[in-house]
Amino acid sequence: MTLISCFSEPMILLQHIVAACGGKKKGDSNKKMIKGTVVLITKDVLDYNDFFGDALSNIREEVDEFVGQQVSLQLISAVRADPAENGGRGKLGNLAYLEDVITTKTQAVVGESAFSVSFEWDEEELGIPGAFIINNFHHREFFLKNVILEDASSGEGHRIVFLCNSWVYPAKNYTYDRVFFSNQTYLPSEMPKPLLPFREEELKNLRGDGTGERQEWDRVYDYAYYNDLGDPDKGTTYVRPVLGGSPEYPYPRRGRTGRPPTKTDPKSESRLPVINGINIYVPRDERFGHLKMSDFIAYALKSAAQVFLPEFESLISHGKLDKDYDNLEEIYRIYEDRPDDQPAPTNDDGLLRSISGSINSEILKELLRNDKEKNPKFPVPKVIKGDKSAWKTDAEFCRQMVAGVNPVIISLLKEFPPRSKLNPEIYGKQDSTITREQVENMLDGLTVDKAMETNRLFILDHHDSLMPYVRRINATSTKIYATRTLLFLQEDGTLKPLAIELSLPNPNGDEFGAVSKVYTPGGNGVEGSLWQLAKTYVAVNDSGVHQLISHWLHTHAVIEPIVIATNRQLSVVHPIHKLLHPHFRDTMTINALARQTLTNAGGFIESTVFPGKYAMEMSAVLYKDWVFPEHALPADLIKR
């Protein structure tokens, strides 16, 4: 029975009357008053849409509204069980309410409000409090930061701290009591027995029942397949396979939203309109804070505008953007300051006008400022600040393999020539065609065998991972090769490239094996240009694998089910939960937003990373080889 439903019980009703009137009951002489402080932040302060503008003038008024009987708190004994309650639940103290706003408290965060509260507590009968129930009878939610009790038990200075950091919605939105525990850690076997029922009920509430569409105030952590990437109702172009739950496309689970299925395919979940994508469900306490969300939107929109300029006017007038660059100078211009006389986008432009109703005016102002400070584009990479062609060197090509965005693929070469692990019955002969004669003249007098023996040969291998998809990818407007790159560790500790192998599927069929060509470092002229082009294909592969596999799959996607499982199975007072929780921050929100705009059909990943519409499908196939313990240090380094 919840606290709200108990209001019909005479004793509970009497407690409310007595607490409101300041009356005394029999046995009051054994009771004392525990003074406490409640720190919360109102919705107007933390809602990024309302943070600026008229809302600020209303914050003080709304804070005052919480005083009185708008928010109730009820302490729970950690040592005395109520004999009338099944399961030995801790005894409850009398109801208390927020009293006065503390104006002398220094704010750690702008918008914080501190309230005094007094709890009537019989220490002899109830012992020490270890948790509390809170109910919000106001019409708006608030962010409960902490509750601190002073002199909570015998002896001076016995302070009890409750670190809450949670949104509390109006009580009508919950079918259960919101319970918070003191800032202690307990294994289940160590938890004070009167608090165990509350701990178990809290985990049950967080697990949910697996039904219904989740609402913004929900706190449910549940699993679902990646069945919301496609949008089959828009046509066959937007159909994508369900990832997860099948041997063909295994995948980590995502957070369940419970949205209804599409009309075309009952196995696919319907999608939110793009403009409402930021409202995709994640458990309320997992959502970005107001500043993080504002930054996320502003940076995303500004980055898009920076890439599109100076083609922005063409984008607006024609509704499309030519994604190809005609020369290197066009690419260099992305990293250069926009001339003062080149206008920034204005709110009259269609792109920004279409979103202006969904984001706050301050974000738009930041986007639309036309002063010199706000005109710079992306910062110029250090490698080309002094020399625009420095990125072309072999030294920089190798440096980026270990100091760039994707240093987790390069590995020690353990056999020569490199061999493929692809099934020869399906893909034919896929072993490397690189020969000793092609590389031994660049090994500083060593043979291939001696270089391998002394751990000086390395490989960046993007062959087996890409080859099964090369034919399909090349049937689109995108063209790639499967690649292998051999490297030599020099005496000065730097790498130099020895050979690059570019491979395509046999035009007569996959079963006939790969058609490969090997390129080695060239000088000037045609050979030098071909070598530069071969390095470019390798860089494209490495960048795409980084975005799709190393970053998205191995960093974001694989962690989400661990976030969900932790919240479903480990109480907030479990030491492992406290250890992991800071590392989970924002993960579910970022992943949910990614499904809306990055990894979805027609999203940024498909538009910018070489696999195109096969991107997420390919990541599911590569997930088959993912082994959790191998990605920890030092296991990963030892393996490679």
DSSP annotation string for 426-480: HH--------HHHHGGGSTT--HHHHHHTT-EEEEEESTTTHHHHHHHHTSS---
Where does residue 474 rank: exposed (0-12), middle (13-18), buried (19+ CB within 10 A)? Answer: middle
In terms of Cα–Cα distance, which of 69, 75, 59 is closest to 97? 69
Q: How far is the C-alpha of 399 from the C-alpha of 495, rounded, in Å?
A: 7
Distance CA 244, CA 375 (A): 44
Residue 148 DSSP SS3: strand
Cβ-based neighbour number of residue 444 at 10 Å: 11
pLDDT value, residue 287: 87
Mean pLDDT of 440-463: 96
Q: Give pLDDT tens digits for 52-76.
A: 444 444 555 666 677 778 899 999 9
pLDDT band at 124 (very low <50, low <70, confident <90, very high): confident
> What is the tens place of the pLDDT at every residue in 588-630?
999 998 998 889 998 888 888 888 899 999 999 999 999 999 9
Strand partners, 132: 75, 180
Token pair of 279, please? 């409202």
E strands, 253-403, are 254-255
* 247-257 pLDDT tens trace: 999 999 999 99
Q: H or E segment at 78?
A: strand 71-81
Average pLDDT, the chain: 83
**Orientation angle between helical segments 560-569 and 196-207, nearest 10 degrees:** 140
41 three-state secondary structure: strand
CA 608 vs CA 232, 402, 566: distances in Å = 22, 23, 34
The DSSP code for 49 is: T
Q: What is the pLDDT of residues 147-205, one digit of tens each?
A: 999 987 765 558 999 999 999 999 999 999 999 999 999 999 999 999 999 999 999 99
Q: Are 407 and 398 in contact (CB under 8 A)?
A: no
Q: What is the token pair recorded at 87? A: 């399961």
Least confident of 30-34, 65-69, 326-330, 456-460: 65-69
Q: What are phi and psi of 74, to 5 degrees?
A: -145, 115
d(CA 491, CA 498): 15
Q: Which residue has the higher pLDDT, 472 or 5?
A: 472
CA 162, CA 182: separation in Å to the nearest integer? 4
Phi then psi dihedrals of residue 414, to 5 deg = -110, -10
Let me know if 212 is exposed, middle or buried by CB neighbors in 10 A (0-12, 13-18, 19+). exposed
Q: 3-state class of 277 per DSSP? A: helix
The answer to whether residues 422 and 468 touch, using CB atoms and an 8 Å cutoff, is yes
Question: Hey, how many other C-beta atoms are within 10 angstroms of the C-beta on 96?
Answer: 22
Distance CA 199, CA 572 (A): 9
Over 80: is that where the pLDDT of 425 sits?
A: yes
The pLDDT value given to residue 340: 47
Is residue 517 within 8 Å of 510, Cβ to Cβ? no
pLDDT digits (tens, 9 = 90+) for 520-543: 998 788 999 999 999 999 999 999
pLDDT band at 377 (very low <50, low <70, confident <90, very high): low
pTM: 0.83
In whole angstroms, give the CA distance from residue 285 to residue 470. Answer: 42
Residue with tokens 């440096």: 399
